[in-house]
Each structure stands twice: as C-alpha cells, then as structure tokens.
C-alpha cells in the first residue's frame, strides 16, 4: 500500500503575513496520520515557513533548485543551501519551469540527481500540453520526461521520490483531467517504470496535479494508481487544501 502524498505548491504567491495566516489556518496536519503533507513556498520564504512548522509533521519543499553545486550562477539556489535551511526537498521539472524558463530534460535530470545525492526528496513533474494531447502524444511525452531521469539515474534514484503527473492544459485552468484520464496516464507511467524495476514501480507514489480541489479530490484518489495530489491554486485556501488532505486520508 502506498502512503498518500499531498503537497501545496504556492507558486509565486504569498507574503510573510499571508503565509503565517495560511499556516495557522491549516493547523496541525498531523491529524492526517496516514498521509504525507507538504507545502512548497517561494524560496525566499522557506526559512520562515520551516521555522513555523518545525513542531509539525508538515514537510517543506522548494519549487525548484539549481543543478549546480556552487559558484557563479547568479540568482540560483543550490541543494546544499536548501539542506542548510532544513528544507526536505524540491519540485523539479514543473511545467512552468519547462515552458517559461526553458528547462531541459537533461537539466531536470541533473537537478533530480543533485537532490537525491544529498538525501533530499525530489518531486519530478511530467505532463503534456493540450496540443500534444490532441496530437495523441500524451504517453510519448510523459514517458520521455520520465525516462530522461530513469535512463540516466536508474530506478533506485526514485526511492523516496514522488512522480507528479500534471497535464499542462489542466494547470490553473479549472479543467481537470477526469479520474479515468488521469488513471490511464498514471498506469502507463507505472508500466514504463516497471520495465526497469517492478517492485520499485509498485512502491512509487504517482500523484496528480491540475486544478485539484476539495470537490474533485476524492474521485481522483479512488483510482488505483493515483496516490495523492500536487495542488496549486487550491493550496492557497486553507479550507480547500484541508478538504483535499481529508480525501487523501480517507483513501489511505
């Protein structure tokens, strides 16, 4: 049985005051004892958020991280710096990073490996655009994105990692993949992984992201290969995020 995983990606939103209010409204997430819950604040707020949730079971992830160790990379933040702050890991390859900041599969694989080598959690995001789905390329695209890491670093690199399927057309648009559409892709991703290592494929948590909210979470979590959610917009609303956690807890 895979332990459900729910994370709130705040994207470029928040302020000291708004973050404190949100965290205080979320309260003690350890009441959700059968799931893992994470928040993903902007890097500049990591330290304060980590201090605020220090006594709770909530983990704190960065939205991205540099693939480089240190040096002349103005504006970047290294894995060692995240570790120094006490962050638990980072997202890699979010579609906004791929599309708006031109991150490549190779770069994403390097970021993934850097996190893994430091013992931090990597959350690899994959997903197709609307044009790719309409062209029937969904599985080719998400498999390529997964294989970019799997081929380079092997299945053992995914121990403690999470794979997030986030169809780009469903992110922030209010359009959600139906539970059946998402399940089909999750099952295919698991099959791609199983060709390398079946036992690890069965352990791997594959979570869905793209307009998840309180009202559609349970239907998604009912699916056999959907092990949680990476939540954007709804994670900024405590009631919505808690409703999603509750649905995940129920599915555990």
> Least distance to ligand PGA from the beta carbon of 242, Å?
15
Q: Tokens 């409204």 identify what position? A: 25
Residue 249 to residue 89: CA distance in whole angstroms = 22
> Least distance to ligand PGA from the beta carbon of 172, Å?
4
Considering 103, 128, 166, 240, which one is annotated as catalytic?
166
Indicate which single residue of 171, 177, 189, 247 sits in contact with ligand PGA (rule: CB under 6 A).
Answer: 171
Among 21-29, 190-198, 207-215, 217-225, which window interacts with ligand PGA (CB under 6 A)?
207-215
Judged on CB neighbours under 10 Å (0-12, 13-18, 19+), 217 is: buried
Q: Is 9 in the site for ligand PGA (CB under 6 A)?
A: yes
Q: Which long-range contacts (CB under 8 A, 24 or more apart) does 32-35 make?
A: 32/245, 32/246, 32/248, 32/249, 33/249, 34/3, 34/4, 34/249, 34/252, 35/3, 35/4, 35/5, 35/6, 35/228, 35/245, 35/248, 35/249, 35/252
Q: Is 166 in the site for ligand PGA (CB under 6 A)?
A: yes
Nearer to ligand PGA, 77 or 207 (CB): 207
Q: Is 59 in the site for ligand PGA (CB under 6 A)?
A: no
Indicate which single residue of 172, 178, 215, 222 sits in contact with ligand PGA (rule: CB under 6 A).
Answer: 172
Site size with ligand PGA, rule: CB under 6 A:
13
Active site residue 94: yes
Residue 82 to residue 161: CA distance in whole angstroms = 16
Which positions from 208 through 247 interact with ligand PGA, judged by CB under 6 A? 209-212, 230-234
Burial 160-194 (b: 16+ CB within 10 A, else e): ebbbbbbbbbbbeeeebbebebbbbbbebbbebbe
- Which helix or strand (DSSP H or E) is residue 42 part of? none
Residue 250: count other Cβ atoms within 10 Å of its Cβ: 15
Closest CA to 247 of 204, 224, 206, 213: 213
Residue 29 to residue 14: CA distance in whole angstroms = 20
Among 50-58, 81-89, 115-123, 165-173, which window interacts with ligand PGA (CB under 6 A)?
165-173
Q: Is 8 in the site for ligand PGA (CB under 6 A)?
A: no
> Least distance to ligand PGA from the beta carbon of 102, Å?
17
Nearer to ligand PGA, 148 or 212 (CB): 212
Nearer to ligand PGA, 154 or 172 (CB): 172
Nearer to ligand PGA, 71 or 174 (CB): 174
Nearer to ligand PGA, 63 or 143 (CB): 63
**Catalytic (active-site) positions:** 94, 166
> Which residues here bind ligand PGA, judged by CB under 6 A?
9, 166, 171-172, 209-212, 230-234
């Amino acid at each position: 049985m895979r332990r459900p995983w729910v994370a709130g990606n705040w994207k470029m939103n928040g302020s000291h005051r708004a973050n404190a209010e949100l965290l205080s409204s979320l309260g003690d997430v350890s009441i959700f004892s059968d799931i893992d819950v994470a928040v993903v604040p902007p890097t500049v707020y990591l330290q304060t958020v980590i201090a605020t949730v220090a006594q709770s079971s909530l983990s704190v992830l960065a939205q991205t991280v540099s693939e480089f160790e240190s040096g002349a990379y103005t504006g970047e933040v290294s894995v060692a710096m995240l570790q120094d702050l006490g962050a638990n890991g980072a997202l890699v390859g979010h579609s906004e990073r791929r599309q708006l900041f031109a991150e490549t599969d190779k770069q994403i694989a390097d970021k993934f490996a850097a996190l893994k080598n430091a013992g931090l959690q990597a959350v690899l995001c994959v997903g197709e655009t609307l044009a790719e789905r309409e062209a029937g390329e969904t599985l080719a695209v998400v498999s390529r994105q997964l294989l970019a890491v799997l081929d380079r670093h092997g299945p053992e690199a995914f121990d403690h990692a999470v794979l997030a399927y986030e169809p780009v057309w469903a992110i922030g648009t209010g359009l959600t993949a139906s539970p059946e559409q998402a399940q089909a892709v999750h099952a295919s991703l698991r099959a791609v992984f199983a060709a390398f290592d079946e036992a690890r494929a069965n352990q791997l948590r594959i979570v869905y992201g793209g307009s998840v909210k309180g009202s559609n979470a349970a239907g998604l979590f009912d699916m056999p290969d959907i092990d949680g959610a990476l939540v954007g917009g709804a994670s900024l609303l405590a009631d919505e995020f808690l409703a999603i956690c509750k649905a995940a807890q129920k599915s555990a």
